[in-house]
Amino acid sequence: MIDPVARLGLRLRVFLLFAALAAGILTALGGGLWLGLSRLDESGPAGAIVTAGLVAGFGILGLTAWMWMLFDEHVARASQRLAAALRARTHAGLDRALDPDDARYLGDLAPAAQAVAGTLAETRNALAEAVERETTRLAVENARLQALLADVPAGVLLCSADHQIVFYNGPAAALLTQERAPGLDRALTDHLRPGPLEAARARLARAAPGTATDLIATCAQSGEVLAGRMRLLELPQRRAGAPGYVLTLRPVTADLALHAGREALLEEVFERIRRPAANLQTVLAAGAAAAPEGRAALLSEAERLAAAITELGDRYDAARGAWWPMAETRAADLADGIAAQAETAGVALTVTEPDPDLALRCDAYQLVSLAAHLAERLAARPDARALALALAPDEAGGVLLTLTWEGAVLPLGDLERWLAEPLEVGLADVTGRSVLAAHGTEAWPERRPDGGARLCVPLPAPAAASPRRPAEARRAVYDFDLMDRAPSGELAETRLSDLTCVVFDTETTGLLPSSGDEIVQIAALRMIGGRRVEGESFESLVDPRRSIPAAASEVHGITGAMVAGAPPIETVARRFHAFAEGAVLVAHNAPFDLEFLRRHEAASGVRFDHPVLDTVLLSAVAFGQSETHTLDALTERLGIEIPPEARHTAMGDTIATAAALERLLPLLEAQGCVTFGQTLAAVRRHARLLRDANASEPAPA
């Protein structure tokens, strides 16, 4: 059935509204006059006039209030809802149809607004498709570059002129993570001492373009030494000033310790051998070796010298494997390399495919050369047939490399002669014997149970490969727009699009921190320039030191067993504070979450005095205070879908709040809230809805 009101135009509806108001006023006046005249004989002219005025006045007042309520609900609020919906579709990218019930009394305005919104969505979609077609190739190249840089074994960072991190890969995050992990738009000098960085920048400023310089950097907190190489970023930039730089890092503390140990051992060798040798020389020079006392002294010094040489030799052999560069190698890769070398030498070698998960720690190049060398020598013997190679786990938990053949057992003298021959690895003094010594192993021939012969080389190694790096460790995180962002001054003057924000949420045992309720989980993520930074997140369970009510567990799914062994709030609060340092905190109903955190400031030794934005108040600014501003209502209004299983979880609500903030920022800027100060002034006008969570006026950035 067609609504008869919908047939009327907006002007006619407004005319009928005011016509009804005029008719009502005339009716009230007529009714008042009639009532006054009817009481003229009883109360006299004055009483009749007062009665008529009171009746007419209250009638007109009630009629006006009723008309105002109708006008406010169906015109003013409807116009506000329509404007907010249009603004959301214009600035937040929504493409849903407008709700016709929101403006059903505004005549043709709602269909016209829907037509504009539809045309805008079609134009935006067409433009997006064109841009997507043009940028597909660039996106593929960017993904390839990101994957390449993520797997570079060295730590790679790109920093702006003021040492703010613009790009980092997984190895760099692993090297720099101490009390807190590195992040975009954070100072590299929070992790590395600034002196070497500034000195390297000064050297490059005086050098020819394209020059790189080496430096030794020291971690500010742990004191670990890192070897680095810096090169200025000589690329076009939109902002004038000093260029940024690329920094590669690798750890050297372990290498320095190994070299120091080797040097200490060599010094001890010379010291402990020098004195017995000098004593022997003295005894021999004095001619006292013929006397019984001289022979005894000579024998004693010789025994001391032999014992020292034996002990030092054993220590050298034990430590030699640590000094030599070793890497974890798949047994399958090693077997393939040996087969390739044997094939190049014309040796027919059958290879048994090793377990794909079997790995060993070795110098793969030297082992390939040694095995191929032995296979070549065995193939040249007329009594060695059906040569085969196998790599398999042994009983000691390592890997056993075997060369098997049909024929007689290899004589030990031949094996020793082959091991003494130099290998073709680029160094004349690298022999099979030195390769075995570097790996702390031996080789021997033996008879097989089936009648054949084999050559065994046990290799101490893990029986299985170490697990692969998780995807999180392989990430490459970047925002190249940070290179061209001008330094911010006062926080109040910083644009919303330039803010670094940490969006967070907590799950608790209840709603009353003053009554003993505590946090059981905190989750957070970082946003820069209104966009989420993938890979920079924080999530931790918290031991509340009290039971979790069943009603609370039904909401967020966290039980007492899940938080058993979790860190206390003091520890988690310090870690979260380090993650959020220098950022604007953002939460939905921020006073609730911050009250739980601020109760533990004294015990944790940190203060949560960050500037704060609350998406409840931002929603009120964008859509009007009369709307519903729950997280569910806000995300529904902005076209954001929250999976049911993620709702009322700390990270799920954090992601939803971050998505809402991302779409709210352009709406706020369209309403004149361009800077943080302007936004703060706007949200404080809605203090009746929710108090402002900022501890004080925003401090300078």
Q: At what angle do helices 615-623 and 650-670 cross, to 10 degrees?
A: 40
Give the C-alpha separation, 2 to 29, whole Å.
Answer: 37
Do the bridges between strand 245-251 and strand 584-587 make them parallel or antiparallel, or are there none, so unpaired?
unpaired
Residues paired with residue 403 on neighbouring β-strands, in sequence order: 389, 455
**Tokens at 7, concatenated:** 């047939």
Beta strand extents in 276-383 (DSSP E only):
327-330, 350-351, 359-362
Listed in sequence order, the residues at least 6 apart from 622 whose beta carbon sits closer than 8 Å to its beta carbon are: 84, 87, 88, 664, 667, 668, 671
Q: Are 357 and 386 in contact (CB under 8 A)?
A: no
Burial of 61 (0-12, 13-18, 19+ CB in 10 A): exposed
Give the C-alpha separation, 103 to 73, whole Å.
Answer: 10
Give the C-alpha separation, 401 to 388, whole Å.
Answer: 11
Closest by CA to 189, choosing from 170, 167, 217, 169, is: 217
Give the C-alpha separation, 48 to 9, whole Å.
Answer: 43
Q: Is 210 left (phi over 0), alpha (psi -120 to 50) or beta?
A: left
**Tokens at 529, concatenated:** 């320039």
Give the C-alpha separation, 47 to 322, whole Å.
Answer: 114
Give the C-alpha separation, 579 to 243, whole Å.
Answer: 28
Structural element, H or E, at residue 39: none
DSSP state letter for 629: -
Q: Are 200 and 213 in contact (CB under 8 A)?
A: yes
Strands in 519-528's sheet, in edge-to-edge order, are 531-541, 519-528, 500-508, 584-587, 612-614
Listed in sequence order, the residues at least 6 apart from 136 whose beta carbon sits closer than 8 Å to its beta carbon are: none
Listed in sequence order, the residues at least 6 apart from 694 whose beta carbon sits closer than 8 Å to its beta carbon are: 611, 612, 680
- 3-state SS string over 499-512? CEEEEEEEEECCCC
CB hemisphere CA count around 268 (13 angstroms) = 13
Listed in sequence order, the residues at least 6 apart from 431 whose beta carbon sits closer than 8 Å to its beta carbon are: 419, 420, 421, 422, 423
Give the C-alpha separation, 310 to 303, whole Å.
Answer: 10
**Tokens at 273, concatenated:** 């051998």
Q: Can you spell out the DSSP letters for 541-566?
A: E-B-SSPPPHHHHHHH---HHHHTTP
**Which are the catalytic amino acids?**
648
Q: Work out whether the CA dihedral 473, 476, 481, 482 comes out positive or negative.
A: positive
**Tokens at 695, concatenated:** 């501890």
CA distances from 416 to 165, 356, 385, 400 (A): 57, 32, 21, 20
CB hemisphere CA count around 644 (13 angstroms) = 0
**Tokens at 133, concatenated:** 């077609």
Q: Are 16 and 4 in contact (CB under 8 A)?
A: no
